[in-house]
């Protein structure tokens, strides 16, 4: 559930096709920049089918079509997709509600990356990559770029962790849709008018811990999954009245679930 662990030399479920599915609950901000939180169910999927790797994304996934060789260096290239529901529902703040709900955006684009196994121990992996997503639904018609680093390592045969650090850059269309306050929105909500421009919108750090219930991650089966994340809103996403007046630039997320790998 945490990552494609490098093989220890024993037969491993991760060496061929496999699928990990996790189901649990999560708690996170009502919208990007909110200081209100709500709980909701979540599903996480990771695997490899017919040589195509599947990696989870927030409300989405990424596919890697490149089959890596036996060496420590690998490359990723594929397709990423996510459904963005920012301010499209579950808004608790009545002032933000008065400004109006937004439409959900379906975002699709390339995913590229590079990874290296065996950096600090024989079984760890360091990777760098980015999703470049474009809204194809017409909600905000924007583009985001999300580069980041990820490091995964086992602590024992039954416990592994993954730490990911990244930033998100957004163009003018995206920033204007989510962080600007138009004259009409200002009149309806009482918030001051604000115009958001392109730039970095957030920096994030996420820790994922997987604990195999029989003490051996490589043979699949049931595992517990713990996820904790911190996001810091940046630039106009931080200065927006939706964040600076009605919310908080510090954003926290937590999740717990049970997964099964087969």
Average pLDDT per block of 10 residues along the chain, 262 residues long: 50 87 96 97 93 92 89 95 95 97 98 96 95 97 98 96 98 98 98 98 98 93 97 98 98 97 92
Q: Is residue 220 part of a domain?
A: yes
Q: What domain range is 199 assigned to?
A: 13-261
Question: Hey, CA dihedral for 190, 192, 196, 200, is it positive or negative?
Answer: negative
Q: Is residue 6 part of a domain?
A: no
Q: Is residue 132 part of a domain?
A: yes
Q: Is residue 50 part of a domain?
A: yes
Return the residue matching tokens 């699928």. 19
Buried b or exposed e, range 178-212, using 16+ CB within 10 angstroms: bbbbeeebeeebebeebebebebbbebebebbbbb
pLDDT score recorded for residue 1? 43
pLDDT score recorded for residue 4? 53
Q: Is residue 129 part of a domain?
A: yes
pLDDT score recorded for residue 140? 97
Q: Is residue 2 part of a domain?
A: no
- Read off the CATH number of the domain in which 166 is found: 2.40.160.40
Q: Is residue 34 part of a domain?
A: yes
pLDDT score recorded for residue 10? 59
pTM: 0.91
**What's the domain count of the chain?**
1
Q: Is residue 42 part of a domain?
A: yes
């Amino acid at each position: 559930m945490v990552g494609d662990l490098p093989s220890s030399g024993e037969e491993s479920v991760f060496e061929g096709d496999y699928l990990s599915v996790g189901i649990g609950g999560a708690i996170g901000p009502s919208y990007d920049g909110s200081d209100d939180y709500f709980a909701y169910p979540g599903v996480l999927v990771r695997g490899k089918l017919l040589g195509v790797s599947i990696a989870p994304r927030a409300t989405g996934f990424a596919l890697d079509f490149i089959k890596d060789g036996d060496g420590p260096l690998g490359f990723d290239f594929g397709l990423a997709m996510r459904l963005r529901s920012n301010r499209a529902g579950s808004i608790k703040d009545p002032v933000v509600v008065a400004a109006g709900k937004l439409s959900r955006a379906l975002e699709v684009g390339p995913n590229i990356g590079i990874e290296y196994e065996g950096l600090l121990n024989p079984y760890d992996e360091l990777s760098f990559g980015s999703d470049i997503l474009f809204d194809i639904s017409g909600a905000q018609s924007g583009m985001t770029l999300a580069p980041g680093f990820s490091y995964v390592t086992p602590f024992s045969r039954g416990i592994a962790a993954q730490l990911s650090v990244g930033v998100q850059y957004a163009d003018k269309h995206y920033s204007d849709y989510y962080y600007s306050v138009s004259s009409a929105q200002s009149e309806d909500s009482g918030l001051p008018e604000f115009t958001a421009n392109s730039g970095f919108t957030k920096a994030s750090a996420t820790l994922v811990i997987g604990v195999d219930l029989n003490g051996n991650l490589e043979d699949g089966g049931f595992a517990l999954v713990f996820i904790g994340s911190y996001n810091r809103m940046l630039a106009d996403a931080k200065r927006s009245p939706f964040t600076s007046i009605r919310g908080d630039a510090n954003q926290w997320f937590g999740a717990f679930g049970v997964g099964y790998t087969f």
